[in-house]
Structure 1
Amino acid sequence: MFLFANATIYIGLAIAIYALLITTLGISTKNQKLINSGKGGLIALFVCAALAMISLFYLLGTSQFQYQYVSDYTSSELPIIYKLTALWAGNAGSLLLWTFFLTLYTIMIAFSRKMKGNPMVPYISAILLANAVFFFFILGFVAKPFLLLDTVPLEGKGLNPMLQNPGMIIHPVTLYLGYVGLAIPFAFAMAALILKNVDDFWIKMTRRWTIIAWLFLSLGNIFGGQWAYVELGWGGYWAWDPVENASFMPWLTATAFLHSVMIQERKNMLKIWNISLIIVSYALTLFGTFLVRSGVLTSVHAFANSNLGLYFLIFMGVAVILALYVLMSRYNLLKRSAGEFQSFVSKESSFLVNNLLLVGAAFAVFWGTIFPLVSEAVRGTKVTVGLPFFNKVEAPILLSMMFVMAVCPMLAWQRSTVKNLRKNFMIPAILAVVGMILMVVLGIQKAWAVIGYGVIILLLITHYLEFYRGVKARRKMTNEKPLVALYRLMIRNRRRYGGYIVHLGIAFITMGIIGSQNYDVETMKTVALGQSIELKDYRLNYERLDQKKEGINDIVYADITVFKNGKRLGTFQPEKVFYGNWDQPSSEVAIISSVKEDLYIVLSAWEDDGKATFVVKINPMMNWLWFGSFMIVIGALFAVWNGKYGNVTPRYTGVRKEVS
C-alpha cells in the first residue's frame, strides 16, 4: 500500500510535468497531436489524484497508524465519519483534497462540449496544469501524506475536539471548492489575453464557473460561522480571525467581479478592471493558503508551523507577476476597445461604486490581517489588530454597499433623469424614513442600528417594486395569474432575479448582524443547586449537575430549566466534554432559538459542592442571519441553474479580434 499510495503522487507529478510541457509545445508549434496528448494526460492526472485520495481515505478509515498522517489526526475510538474527514484536518491531506478538485475542474473544462474546438482550451489547460505541477510537487517533497513512522504507535493522537463537529464535514470542502473554482476564470482571462481576444466571450463562458466558486466560498464562510457559533462556546460567529479573513477577502473581490462583468457585457466597459479583479481574487486564494499554512499569524484555524508558507508565497508571487505582465502587454488593446460612462447617475455607475466599496472592504481586511506582520518587521513588535478595528472600518462600508444595492435597481442604464429618480425613489425613501422614526419610537436608540435598519427597509421596498413591476408588466401582456406571471418572469430572467434573491439574503444577514452586535446581553453568574439566573425575560433554574461517560470521553453536564415570561420552554443541558486522548476540554452549548433571538447557555465551571458558573447570553436576530444565508444559496443556485446561459453564449469560431 505504501508503494502504491506514494506512486500516485510521484507518477501524478511526472504526468503533470509531461502534460504541461507537451501542451505548451503543441501550442507553440500549432501541433494538434501534441495538444491531444496533453489532453489525454489530464485524465491520467485526475486518476492519480483520485487514487491518492482513495488511498488516504482507506488508511484513515482502517487506522493504519504506521502512517504519520493517520497517527497525527485519528485514533481507534474516533467515529468513522471523523476518521474520514481527518483527510483535510492537516496540511498534507487538505492539499491532496485541493489537488483532487483542481484536476477535476481541469478535465471538466478540457472535455466540456461547449469548449469543443475552442482555441482557448490548450492555454487554459496549460495554466491549470502549472497549478497542478506545483501542488503535486508539494505533496511529493514537502507535505507528504503517505510518510511512514519509524515505530508503529499503539494508538493515534486523535482529532482535535473542535474538529469533531458536522461543520468539519462540509466547511473545508466548500471552501476548497471555492478556492480552486476561482482558478477557472483566472485561467480563462489569461488565455483570452494571450490570444488577444478582448471581447466578453471569456466572461460569458466562465460566468457559471464564477458563480459556482462564489457560492462555495459563501457556503464555506456560512458553515464556518455557524460552526464557530455552536462549537467554541464564546457566543459569536465571526471574530475577524486571520484565517476567517483569508476566505472572506476573495469572496469580496469575486462579488465585485460578478457585478462588474455585467457592465462589460452590456456596455463594453471595465475590461482592465475585470481582469485585475480576477487576478486579485485568484491571488487571494493563494494568499489565504499561505496564511493558514505558514504559521506567521496566530489563529485557532491555522495548521501547525511549517515551511509550506514560503513555497506558496513564491508560487503566488510568480503567478501574479506573470499575470500582470500579460495584462500590461495587452493594456493598450483593452483600453482602446473599452466604452465610457455617460452619467454618474446611472445603473453602471452604481455598479462601479459598489465595486469600489467591495474592493475597499477587501483591502481593509487585508491591511488589518497583515498589520501584525508589518508592525513586527518595522518596529520589532507584533501589534495585534482585533475586533474593534474591523467592526469600525467594515460597518460603514457594509451599510454603504447596502444603500447602493437598494438604489441600483431603480436607476436606468446610461442616464437617469430627475423625473425618473423622483418617480422611483419618492415612495421608498418616505417609507424608509417613516420606518426609522418608528424604530426610534419603539426604543431603538443606537444611531448605526437605526440607519442600518432604515437602509434595509429601503432595499426591501425597492426590490419588492422590481418584482411587482415585472409581474405587472408581464400580466398586462399575457393575462397570466400573479403567481404564474411571477414564476415565468423569474425563470426567464434567472440571473437578474437570482441576484435579487441574493440581495435580499444579504439584507437579512445584515439584520442579524446589526441585532446581534448592538443589542446582545450577557451575564456570568455562579449559582447553587436550586437557584436561578435571570436575564431580561428569561429565568434559568439550575436543577442538577452530573457526569456521564461516552466511550473514552467524560462529560459533565447541568440540567437547566428555562422560563420566558413565566412560560416553561423546557430543560436543556450545557456540557463540558473531557477527551480521553486530548488535554483541552470543549464546551457543548445549549441554544434556544426563536425568530426574535437566541438564548445561549455555557457551562463554564463548577465546584465539589454543586455550585456552577454559567455564561448566559441573548443574541437578538440570529435566525435572520442564518435565514439570509439560506437565501443567498437559493439565489445563487437559481441564477446558475438549468443552462439558460446557452442562450447568451455565442459559438466560438476561433477568430481573433485585434485592434491595430
Structure 2
Amino acid sequence: MSQIGSFALLLALVLSAYSFLAGLVALTRKGAGAERLGETARRAGIATFAMVFLAALVLVIAAFQDDFSIAYIFHHSNRDLPGAYKFATLWSGQEGSLLFWSLLLATYGLVLRLRYKTDSRLFAHASVIIAAVQVFFLLLLNFAAHPFAVMQGTLPQDGNGLNPLLQYPEMVIHPPMLYLGYVGFTVPFAFALAALIMRYPGEKWIQITRRWSMVTWGFLTCGVFLGAHWAYSVLGWGGYWGWDPVENASLMPWLTGTAFLHSVMMQEKRGMLKTWNMWLIFATFLLSIFGTFLTRSGVVSSVHAFAQSSIGDWFVGFLAVTFAVCLFFYVKNRSHLRSEHKLESLISRESSFLFNNLLLLVACFTVLWGTLFPVLS
C-alpha cells in the first residue's frame, strides 16, 4: 500500500507543478493556444485533487487494516484503537496532517475550478497562485515529511497507538474545523493577490470571495471554540484558554479574518480601505501558515506541537517568499488601491468600522508578541 500512496503523492506533485507552470505561461500569452494551455492547467489542477485524495484514502485504509509496515501508522495507531480514532489518524501526526492540509487545499481548488468560469482572467491568476501553494505542500510531503515511509527491520505486530489525551470526541472534529479555516483563507488570498497583480478595477474579487471568507471564518471559529471546550474538559487547565503558543496561533488569523470581514463592507459600499483590506487578507493567510510553522518547527514549547523537525525551515522560506511577492506587487501597483472616498468624520459608521479593526489588530499584535517574546528574549 505504501507504494500506491507514494506514487499518488509524486504524481500529484507533477500535476500541480504542471498546473502552476502551464497556467503561468498561459497568462503571458494570447490567442487560442494560450486558452488551450490554460485549460490543460485547469484540468491538471482537478487531477491533482484525485491523486491527493487517493493518497489520503490509502493512508486511512492502512490505518484500518493495521498496516504497521508504514511508519506513520505504527507511530499513531494500534489494533485496539476505535474506528473513529483510526480515521482521525489521518491528521493525528505531522506527516498525515500535512497530507490532510494538502487534501483540503486540493478540494478548495477543485470547487474553484469547477465553479468559476466567468471572468476567466481573474480566475486564472488565482488558480495559478493556489497551484503554487499546493506545490509547496506536496514538496513537503514528498521530500521532507513523507507519510508513507516504510518501517525498517522486523515488522512490528502492533503500533504505539494514539496519545491518550487525543482520544476524545473533539479529535474527530476539532482539527478538521481548524484546517478548513486555515486552508480556506488561501482562496480569498489568491483572489486578492491576483487582483493586485492584474491591477484589477473595482471590488469584484471581494464579491467573489466574500462567501468563501464567511464560510472559512465560520470553520475557524468552530475550531477555536471546540479546542477551548476540549482544553477545559480534558487537559485540566482550569479554563478554556491556557495561552498556549499553538492555541494563540489559531486565534491570530481569526482576529485578522474578523477584521477583514468587517472592513470589506466599507470597500464594497464606498470604495474605501482598499490597501487596508488587501493587507488584512495577506496577513490572515500568512498567519495561518505561521501557525502551522509554530506547530511543527519546535521553536516554542507546546502541548499541541509536533516533535521538532527540519520542516520549520521550509515554512520560514515559504513565508519569506510569499511576503516578498505580496510586497513587490503592492509597491508596483499600489496606485490602483486609492480610496474613492475619505473618512469624513470621527463619529460615523465608517469610523466605527475602522475603530473595530484597530482593536482587533491590537489584540492580534498583543497575542503575537506574547507568543514570540519567550523565543526572542
**TM beyond 0.5:** yes
Residues 18-57 of structure 1 aligned to structure 2 (within 5 Å): 18-30=18-30, 31-57=34-60
Per-residue CA distance 1:115-155 (angstroms, 9 max, x = gap): 43432111011000000100110000000000001121121
Matched, 1:297 2:300: yes
Letter in 2 for 1:293: R
2:177 aligned residue: 174
Question: What is the aligned partner in structure 1 of residue 254 from structure 2?
Answer: 251
Q: 1:347 aligns with which of 341, 346, 349?
A: 349
RCO greater where, 1 or 2, for CA within 8 Å and sep 6 or more?
2
> Which residue pairs with 1:370 in the alignment?
372
Q: Counterpart in 2 of 1:328?
A: 331
Paired AA for residue 14 in structure 2:
A
User: Is residue 271–residue 338 contact of structure 1 (8 Å, CA) maintained in 2?
Assistant: no
**Conserved 8 A contact 1:294-1:308:** yes
Which residue identity does 2:110 align to in structure 1? I
1:374-393 equivalences in 2 (<5 Å): 374-375=376-377
When residues 198 and 117 of structure 1 are mapped into structure 2, their CA distance, relative to the original with a 3 A threshold, is closer
Q: CA deviation at 1:2?
A: 2.2
Judge conservation of contact 1:275–1:327 (CA < 8 Å) in 2. no
The one-letter code of the counterpart of 2:17 is: I
RMSD of aligned Cα (Å)? 1.0
User: Is the CA contact (8 Å cut-off) linking 1:66 and 1:153 kept in structure 2?
Assistant: yes
2:68 equivalent to 1:65: yes
Q: What does 1:275-294 align with in structure 2 at a 5 Å threshold? A: 275-294=278-297
Higher strand content, 1 or 2? 1
Separation (CA, whole Å) in 2 of partners of 1:146 and 1:102: 20
1:238 correspondence with 2:241: yes
Q: 2-side partners of 1:28 and 1:187: how far apart?
A: 18
Q: Give the deviation of 1:46 after TM superposition.
A: 0.3
- 5 Å-filtered alignment, 1:126-145, equals 126-145=128-147
Aligned to 1:15: 15
Which string of whole-angstrom CA distances, capped at 9 and with x for unpartnered residues, describes residues 360-411 of structure 1?
Answer: 1000000000111110xxxxxxxxxxxxxxxxxxxxxxxxxxxxxxxxxxxx
Secondary structure of the corresponding residue to residue 236 of structure 2:
coil
Cα deviation, residue 101, structure 1: 0.6
CA contact (8 A) 2:46 2:109 kept: no
More helix by percentage: 2
Q: State the structure with more CA Rg.
A: 1
Deviations 1:567-591 (A, max 9, x none): xxxxxxxxxxxxxxxxxxxxxxxxx
User: Partner residue of 2:3?
Assistant: 3
Are 1:314 and 2:326 counterparts?
no
Q: Deviations over 1:385-443 (max 9, x none)?
A: xxxxxxxxxxxxxxxxxxxxxxxxxxxxxxxxxxxxxxxxxxxxxxxxxxxxxxxxxxx
* DSSP-derived class of the 1:119 partner: helix
Please tell me whether the aligned partners of residues 178 and 217 of structure 1 are also in contact (alpha carbons under 8 angstroms): yes
What pairs up with 1:175-214 in 2 under 5 angstroms? Answer: 175-214=178-217
TM normalised by structure 1 equals: 0.56
> Match for residue 358 of structure 2?
356
Displacement of 1:233 after TM fit?
2.5
Structure 2 contact 297–309 (Cα < 8 Å) conserved? yes
Distance in 2 between residues matched to 1:96 and 1:74, nearest whole Å: 17
- Give the aligned partner of residue 266 of structure 1: 269
Question: For the residues of structure 1 that align with 2:348 and 2:130, how far apart are their CA atoms?
Answer: 38
Which one is further off, 172-181 or 115-124? 115-124
Bigger mean CA deviation after superposition, 320-329 or 140-149: 320-329
Work out the CA distance in 2 between the residues paired with 1:66 and 1:121.
43
Q: Which letter does structure 1 place at the counterpart of 2:139?
A: F
With normalisation by structure 2, the TM-score equals 0.97
The structural deviation recorded for 1:66 is 0.9
Equivalent residue letter for 1:13: L
Q: Give the drift of 1:103.
A: 0.7
Q: Which runs of structure 2 are paired with 1:647-658 in the superposition (5 Å)?
A: none
Equivalence for 1:470: none
2:150 to 145, 148, 151: 148
- Please show how residues 472-551 of structure 1 align to structure 2 within 5 Å: none
CA contact 1:174–1:220 (8 Å) conserved in 2: yes
Structure 2: how far apart are the matches of 1:166 and 1:210? 27
Secondary structure (helix, strand or coil) at the match of 2:120 reads coil
Please state how far the C-alpha of 1:320 moved relative to its aligned partner: 1.0
Partner AA of 2:2 in structure 1: F
1:208-223 equivalent positions in 2, closer than 5 A: 208-223=211-226
> After the TM superposition, which parts of structure 1 deviate over 2 Å for at least 4 consecutive aligned residues?
115-118
**Identity, % of aligned positions:** 44
Q: Equivalent residue for 2:83?
A: 80
CA deviations 1:430-463 (Å, max 9, x no partner) are xxxxxxxxxxxxxxxxxxxxxxxxxxxxxxxxxx
- Identify unmatched segments of 5+ residues in structure 1: 376-660
Question: In the TM superposition, what is the alpha-carbon distance from 1:235 to its structure 2 partner?
Answer: 2.4
Classify 1:369/1:22 alpha carbon distance in 2 versus 1 (closer, same or farther; 3 Å). Answer: same
